[in-house]
Chain A
Amino acid sequence: MEENNIIISCNNVKKYYPIRDGIFNRIKDWKHIVDGLSFKLEQGKTLALVGESGCGKSVLLRLILGLENVTEGEIYFKGKSVYDLSEMQRLTMKSEIGMIFQDTLAALHPRMSIMESLKEPLLLNGMKDRKQMEKVIIDTLECVGMAPDFLNRYPHQLSGGQLQRIAIARALIIDPQVILADEPISALDVSLQAQVINMLIDLQESRNLSILLVAHDLAVVRQIASDIMIMYLGTIVESGKSSDIYKNAKHPYTKVLLKAAPSISKGINNEPFHLDLKVGDTPNPENPPKGCSFCTKCMEATERCLLERPEPKEVSPRHFVSCLYV
Chain B
Amino acid sequence: MKESSKHNENILEVRDLKTYFNVGEGKVVKAVEGVNFSLKRSKILGIIGESGSGKSVTSRSIMRIVDQPGYIAGGEIIFEGQNLLEIPEREMEKIRGQKISLIFQNPTTSFNPFMTMEQHLKEVYLTHKKGATKSEARKRALEVLEMVGIHNGAEILKKYPCEFSAGFRQRVFIAMSMILEPDLLIADEPTTSLGITLQAEIMEALCEAQRKTGISIIIITHDFGVVSQFSDSLFVMYAGKCVESSPKKDLLLKPKHPYTIGLIRSVPLLEERKSKRLKSIPGFPPNMAEEQIGCSFSPRCEFAREKCFKDTPELKKVGEEHFCACHYPVDYNVEDDTKLEG
Contact = CB atoms under 8 A, between A and B. Distances in A.
A324 B147 CA distance: 36
Interface in A210-252: 216-220, 222-223, 246
A270 B223 CA distance: 17
A262 B278 contact: no
A246 B339 CA distance: 15
A197 B278 contact: yes
Contact of B201 (A191, A246, A262, A275): A275
Nearest to B211: A272
Contact of A189 (B195, B197, B222): B222
Report the interface size class on chain A.
35 or more
Contact of B200 (A160, A195, A274): A274
B263 A190 contact: yes
Contacts of A198: 277-278, 280
A107 interface: no
A220 B224 CA distance: 13
Contact of A219 (B229, B263, B269, B341): B269
B275 to A, nearest CB: 10
A266 B200 CA distance: 13
A263 B278 contact: no
A28 B333 CA distance: 61
A223 B50 contact: no
B268 A197 contact: yes
Nearest to B164: A281
Nearest to A199: B280
Contacts of B272: 222
B249 interface: yes
A272 B195 CA distance: 18
Interface in B230-274: 230, 248-249, 252-253, 262-273
Contacts of A125: none
A260 B253 contact: no
B291 to A, nearest CB: 21
B196 interface: yes
B253 A191 contact: no
A267 B266 contact: no
B278 A275 contact: no
Given A191-B281, A267-B248, A272-B207, A216 B340 contact: no
Given A190-B50, A268-B253, A216 B269 contact: no
B315 to A, nearest CB: 22
Nearest to B163: A281
B269 A262 contact: no
Contacts of B278: 194, 197-198, 223
Contacts of B270: 218-219, 222, 246, 258, 261, 263, 265
A113 interface: no
A271 B267 contact: no
B279 interface: yes
Contact of A267 (B50, B51, B225): B225
Given A191-B281, A194-B266, A197-B268, A264 B224 contact: yes
A267 B263 CA distance: 16
B226 interface: yes
Contacts of A263: 225, 228-229, 269-271
A275 B197 contact: yes
Interface size class of B (residues with CB under 8 A): 35 or more
Contacts of B22: none
Contacts of A103: none
Interface in A45-59: 52-53
B276 interface: yes
The DSSP consensus for interface residues of chain A is helix
A94 B108 CA distance: 38
A40 B181 CA distance: 54
A271 B281 contact: no
A54 B61 CA distance: 37
Contacts of B227: 267
A261 B50 contact: no
B253 A216 contact: no
B336 to A, nearest CB: 15
A275 B191 CA distance: 15
Interface string B22-56: 00000000000000000000000000001100000
Contacts of A220: 268
Contacts of A197: 268, 277-278
A38 B281 CA distance: 39
Contacts of A265: 269-271, 340
A262 B281 contact: no
A257 B207 CA distance: 19
Interface in B194-221: 195-201, 203-204, 207
A6 interface: no
A263 B272 CA distance: 12
B251 to A, nearest CB: 10
Contact of A262 (B51, B223, B253, B273): B223
Interface in A9-56: 52-53
Given A191-B266, A194-B278, 18 more contacts: A52-B196, A189-B51, A191-B262, A194-B266, A194-B267, A223-B276, A257-B196, A258-B270, A260-B200, A262-B229, A265-B270, A266-B225, A268-B228, A268-B248, A268-B340, A275-B200, A275-B201, A277-B201
Interface of B: 50-51, 165, 168, 193, 195-201, 203-204, 207, 222-230, 248-249, 252-253, 262-273, 276-281, 284, 340-342
28 contacts: A161-B284, A189-B51, A191-B262, A191-B266, A192-B280, A193-B266, A194-B266, A194-B267, A194-B278, A217-B268, A222-B269, A258-B270, A260-B197, A260-B199, A261-B196, A261-B200, A262-B223, A262-B229, A262-B230, A263-B270, A267-B227, A271-B229, A272-B204, A273-B204, A274-B200, A275-B204, A281-B165, A281-B168
